Chains A and B, each alone.
Chain A
Protein backbone atom coordinates (compact mmCIF):
# COMPACT_ATOMS: atom_id res chain seq x y z
CA UNK A 1 0.00 0.00 0.00
CA UNK A 2 1.30 3.47 -0.86
CA UNK A 3 -0.30 4.72 2.32
CA UNK A 4 2.00 2.74 4.59
CA UNK A 5 1.09 0.61 7.53
CA UNK A 6 0.46 1.36 11.17
CA UNK A 7 0.41 -1.04 14.03
CA UNK A 8 -1.28 -1.93 16.10
CA UNK A 9 -4.61 -1.29 14.40
CA UNK A 10 -6.17 -0.95 17.83
CA UNK A 11 -4.68 -0.44 21.27
CA UNK A 12 -6.50 -0.57 24.59
CA UNK A 13 -4.74 0.56 27.78
CA UNK A 14 -5.43 1.90 31.26
CA UNK A 15 -4.97 5.52 32.30
CA UNK A 16 -1.42 6.24 33.33
CA UNK A 17 0.10 3.65 31.00
CA UNK A 18 2.19 4.52 27.98
CA UNK A 19 0.91 3.99 24.44
CA UNK A 20 3.21 3.24 21.52
CA UNK A 21 2.09 3.32 17.92
CA UNK A 22 4.24 2.42 14.93
CA UNK A 23 4.18 3.56 11.33
CA UNK A 24 6.02 2.18 8.33
CA UNK A 25 6.27 3.65 4.86
CA UNK A 26 7.67 2.62 1.52
CA UNK A 27 9.02 5.69 -0.27
CA UNK A 28 11.36 8.51 0.67
CA UNK A 29 10.05 11.32 2.84
CA UNK A 30 10.70 15.00 3.51
CA UNK A 31 9.04 14.75 6.87
CA UNK A 32 6.63 12.57 8.78
CA UNK A 33 3.74 13.96 10.76
CA UNK A 34 1.35 12.55 13.34
CA UNK A 35 -2.29 13.56 13.59
CA UNK A 36 -5.07 12.79 16.02
CA UNK A 37 -8.75 12.39 15.15
CA UNK A 38 -11.54 12.22 17.68
CA UNK A 39 -14.47 10.13 16.50
CA UNK A 40 -15.98 11.60 13.33
CA UNK A 41 -14.19 14.91 13.74
CA UNK A 42 -11.41 16.76 11.94
CA UNK A 43 -7.76 15.87 12.30
CA UNK A 44 -5.43 17.78 14.58
CA UNK A 45 -1.70 18.01 13.95
CA UNK A 46 0.36 16.68 16.86
CA UNK A 47 4.01 16.64 15.92
CA UNK A 48 6.31 16.65 12.89
CA UNK A 49 9.72 15.08 12.46
CA UNK A 50 12.01 15.92 9.57
CA UNK A 51 13.86 13.27 7.60
CA UNK A 52 17.19 14.36 9.12
CA UNK A 53 15.90 14.10 12.70
CA UNK A 54 15.82 10.95 14.80
CA UNK A 55 13.75 11.95 17.82
CA UNK A 56 11.46 14.76 18.85
CA UNK A 57 9.46 15.58 21.96
CA UNK A 58 6.37 17.67 22.58
CA UNK A 59 4.83 17.52 26.04
CA UNK A 60 3.80 13.90 26.64
CA UNK A 61 4.54 12.97 23.03
CA UNK A 62 7.77 11.46 21.78
CA UNK A 63 8.26 10.57 18.14
CA UNK A 64 11.17 8.69 16.62
CA UNK A 65 12.15 8.21 13.01
CA UNK A 66 14.37 5.54 11.49
CA UNK A 67 14.80 6.32 7.81
CA UNK A 68 16.92 3.21 7.22
CA UNK A 69 13.97 1.06 8.32
CA UNK A 70 11.40 3.49 6.90
CA UNK A 71 9.56 3.53 10.19
CA UNK A 72 8.42 5.91 12.90
CA UNK A 73 6.88 5.51 16.31
CA UNK A 74 4.72 7.74 18.48
CA UNK A 75 4.86 7.34 22.24
CA UNK A 76 2.23 8.92 24.46
CA UNK A 77 3.34 8.82 28.09
CA UNK A 78 1.06 8.79 31.13
CA UNK A 79 -2.03 8.42 28.98
CA UNK A 80 -5.38 9.92 29.92
CA UNK A 81 -8.94 8.97 29.00
CA UNK A 82 -9.03 12.14 26.89
CA UNK A 83 -6.29 10.66 24.69
CA UNK A 84 -8.84 8.18 23.32
CA UNK A 85 -8.84 8.82 19.57
CA UNK A 86 -7.49 7.58 16.25
CA UNK A 87 -3.87 8.42 15.50
CA UNK A 88 -2.51 8.66 11.98
CA UNK A 89 0.96 9.08 10.64
CA UNK A 90 1.26 11.07 7.44
CA UNK A 91 4.22 11.31 5.15
CA UNK A 92 5.26 14.17 2.97
CA UNK A 93 7.71 13.36 0.26
CA UNK A 94 8.31 12.35 -3.29
CA UNK A 95 8.00 14.65 -6.24
CA UNK A 96 4.77 16.25 -5.20
CA UNK A 97 5.57 18.52 -2.29
CA UNK A 98 1.96 19.38 -1.59
CA UNK A 99 0.85 15.81 -1.12
CA UNK A 100 0.35 14.41 2.38
CA UNK A 101 -0.44 10.69 2.50
CA UNK A 102 -1.92 9.12 5.62
CA UNK A 103 -1.23 5.71 7.12
CA UNK A 104 -3.99 3.30 8.13
CA UNK A 105 -4.16 4.62 11.69
CA UNK A 106 -4.27 3.23 15.20
CA UNK A 107 -7.42 3.39 17.32
CA UNK A 108 -6.37 4.10 20.90
CA UNK A 109 -8.74 3.52 23.79
CA UNK A 110 -7.66 4.67 27.25
CA UNK A 111 -9.80 3.31 30.08
CA UNK A 112 -10.24 5.45 33.21
Chain B
Protein backbone atom coordinates (compact mmCIF):
# COMPACT_ATOMS: atom_id res chain seq x y z
CA UNK B 1 0.00 0.00 0.00
CA UNK B 2 1.73 3.17 -1.20
CA UNK B 3 -1.11 5.57 -0.64
CA UNK B 4 -1.84 8.45 1.64
CA UNK B 5 -5.60 8.69 2.02
CA UNK B 6 -7.32 11.92 3.00
CA UNK B 7 -10.94 12.34 3.99
CA UNK B 8 -13.15 14.10 3.30
CA UNK B 9 -12.25 15.23 -0.23
CA UNK B 10 -14.46 18.28 0.14
CA UNK B 11 -15.71 20.05 3.25
CA UNK B 12 -17.91 23.11 3.62
CA UNK B 13 -18.24 24.57 7.09
CA UNK B 14 -19.49 27.67 8.82
CA UNK B 15 -17.31 29.83 11.01
CA UNK B 16 -18.84 28.40 14.18
CA UNK B 17 -18.55 24.74 13.21
CA UNK B 18 -16.10 22.17 14.48
CA UNK B 19 -14.85 19.66 11.93
CA UNK B 20 -11.87 17.41 11.38
CA UNK B 21 -9.73 16.36 8.45
CA UNK B 22 -8.29 12.87 8.49
CA UNK B 23 -5.17 11.40 6.91
CA UNK B 24 -4.09 7.77 6.91
CA UNK B 25 -1.08 5.89 5.59
CA UNK B 26 0.01 2.27 5.99
CA UNK B 27 3.53 2.54 4.60
CA UNK B 28 5.16 2.53 8.02
CA UNK B 29 6.26 6.14 7.65
CA UNK B 30 6.94 7.79 11.00
CA UNK B 31 6.85 11.41 9.84
CA UNK B 32 3.59 13.04 8.80
CA UNK B 33 2.87 16.54 7.54
CA UNK B 34 0.05 19.02 7.08
CA UNK B 35 0.38 21.62 4.33
CA UNK B 36 -2.05 24.37 3.34
CA UNK B 37 -2.30 25.45 -0.30
CA UNK B 38 -4.17 28.44 -1.65
CA UNK B 39 -5.05 28.67 -5.33
CA UNK B 40 -2.06 29.25 -7.62
CA UNK B 41 0.32 29.25 -4.64
CA UNK B 42 2.82 26.70 -3.35
CA UNK B 43 2.02 24.44 -0.41
CA UNK B 44 2.83 26.08 2.93
CA UNK B 45 3.97 23.89 5.80
CA UNK B 46 1.73 23.89 8.87
CA UNK B 47 2.77 20.99 11.10
CA UNK B 48 5.18 18.06 11.18
CA UNK B 49 4.84 15.01 13.40
CA UNK B 50 7.77 12.70 13.95
CA UNK B 51 7.19 9.43 15.80
CA UNK B 52 3.75 10.71 16.83
CA UNK B 53 5.21 13.82 18.45
CA UNK B 54 4.74 17.33 17.14
CA UNK B 55 8.16 18.44 15.91
CA UNK B 56 7.35 21.51 13.81
CA UNK B 57 4.55 24.06 14.20
CA UNK B 58 4.90 26.90 11.73
CA UNK B 59 3.14 29.40 14.02
CA UNK B 60 -0.25 28.16 12.92
CA UNK B 61 -3.29 29.80 14.60
CA UNK B 62 -4.80 27.76 17.42
CA UNK B 63 -8.05 27.33 15.50
CA UNK B 64 -6.12 24.56 13.74
CA UNK B 65 -5.32 21.71 16.12
CA UNK B 66 -3.32 18.72 14.89
CA UNK B 67 -3.42 15.27 16.43
CA UNK B 68 -1.45 12.12 15.73
CA UNK B 69 -3.16 9.30 17.63
CA UNK B 70 -0.93 6.58 16.16
CA UNK B 71 1.75 6.06 13.55
CA UNK B 72 -0.76 5.61 10.72
CA UNK B 73 -3.21 8.40 11.42
CA UNK B 74 -3.06 12.18 11.41
CA UNK B 75 -5.96 14.48 12.13
CA UNK B 76 -6.45 18.21 11.77
CA UNK B 77 -9.20 19.58 13.99
CA UNK B 78 -10.83 22.77 12.80
CA UNK B 79 -12.72 25.24 14.98
CA UNK B 80 -13.91 28.81 14.50
CA UNK B 81 -12.27 29.12 11.12
CA UNK B 82 -12.32 32.23 8.95
CA UNK B 83 -13.24 32.45 5.26
CA UNK B 84 -9.56 33.10 4.47
CA UNK B 85 -8.80 29.60 5.78
CA UNK B 86 -10.51 28.18 2.71
CA UNK B 87 -7.82 26.20 0.90
CA UNK B 88 -6.62 22.76 -0.14
CA UNK B 89 -5.19 20.95 2.88
CA UNK B 90 -2.58 18.39 1.97
CA UNK B 91 -1.29 15.58 4.12
CA UNK B 92 2.04 13.92 3.42
CA UNK B 93 4.22 11.25 4.95
CA UNK B 94 7.93 10.55 4.82
CA UNK B 95 9.86 7.39 5.49
CA UNK B 96 12.46 7.77 8.21
CA UNK B 97 16.05 7.29 7.20
CA UNK B 98 15.32 8.07 3.58
CA UNK B 99 16.27 11.01 1.41
CA UNK B 100 13.33 13.08 2.45
CA UNK B 101 10.86 12.40 -0.35
CA UNK B 102 7.28 13.16 0.67
CA UNK B 103 4.27 11.08 -0.31
CA UNK B 104 1.18 13.24 -0.63
CA UNK B 105 -2.51 12.54 -0.37
CA UNK B 106 -4.98 14.07 -2.82
CA UNK B 107 -5.97 16.75 -0.35
CA UNK B 108 -9.11 17.97 1.37
CA UNK B 109 -10.65 21.07 -0.18
CA UNK B 110 -12.07 23.22 2.58
CA UNK B 111 -14.54 26.05 2.11
CA UNK B 112 -15.38 28.24 5.09
CA UNK B 113 -18.57 30.25 4.73
Contact = CB atoms under 8 A, between A and B. Distances in A.
Provide the main secondary structure of the chain B interface.
Answer: strand
B100 A102 contact: no
Interface residues of B, number: 27
Interface string B43-83: 11100101000011000000000000000000000000000
Interface residues of A, number: 27
Given A99-B48, A100-B45, A104-B42, A43 B104 contact: yes
Contact of A45 (B101, B105, B109): B101
Contacts of B43: 43, 88, 102
Interface of B: 4, 31, 33, 40-45, 48, 50, 55-56, 88, 90, 92, 94, 99-107, 109
16 contacts: A3-B42, A41-B107, A42-B4, A43-B90, A43-B104, A44-B104, A45-B101, A45-B103, A48-B101, A96-B56, A98-B48, A100-B33, A100-B45, A100-B100, A102-B42, A104-B42
